[in-house]
Amino acid sequence: MSNPPVWHGTTILSVRKDGKVVVAGDGQVSMGDTVIKNSARKVRQLAGGTVIGGFAGATADAFTLFERLEAKLEQYPNQLLRACVELAKDWRTDRYLRKLEAMMIVADKETTLVLTGTGDVLEPEHGVTGIGSGGNYALSAARALVDMDMNAEDIARKAMGIAADICVYTNTSLTVETLDADG
């Protein structure tokens, strides 16, 4: 079993709690050991604000995947899982898409999913997931905080701060998007 790729230069975290789902991403863009930009937006709304997503990986590749996912969401409205499975099929079989180096977290009011270039469409447990070079740090911190008396956004911000303290490819310039979720 091969390990999924870890993309250096970003951390994306999703937290689902108490009727809210949050996707947060840091703003650092690195080239090797040099910080190129501190305020990139790696999290955005999709499908007219009914879906939020964040990416880790090559920026142009991620935008291509966001565009493809938007098209799938238009084809399968209000069916995030189906749209993601269809995108994953294309990603695995299309010669052009197969070369894209990115991972995504996407969420709607009911579901959070991780999409990878290996064709995986994964639904995380515990309402928390993270990707990117600092993803496991943010995920661990959020899992530790999720049972505390904190809301989803506060957990995401705190966990991202912890990841930024540990991962040199992650900073504290955050983009945070929130949706009301089914409770």
Q: What local confidence, expressed as pLDDT, does residue 5 receive? A: 47
CATH classification of 11-180 is 3.90.280.10, yes or no?
Answer: no
Annotated catalytic, 10? yes
pTM over 0.85: yes
* Mean pLDDT of all residues in 140-149: 97
Tell which residue, 78, 82, 83, has the closest CA to residue 66: 83
The domains of the chain are located at 11-180
Q: What local confidence, expressed as pLDDT, does residue 58 receive? A: 77
Q: Which two tokens stand for residue 46?
A: 């999709």
Long-range contacts of 83-91 (CB under 8 A, 24+ apart): 84/113, 84/115, 84/121, 85/121, 87/115, 88/115, 88/119, 88/120, 88/121, 89/119, 91/65, 91/115, 91/117, 91/119
**5-33: pLDDT as tens digits:** 444 568 999 999 999 999 999 999 888 78
Which listed residue (10, 11, 112, 116) is catalytic?
Answer: 10
**71-127: pLDDT as tens digits:** 999 999 999 999 999 998 887 776 666 666 788 999 999 999 999 877 789 999 899
111: number of Cβ within 10 Å: 17
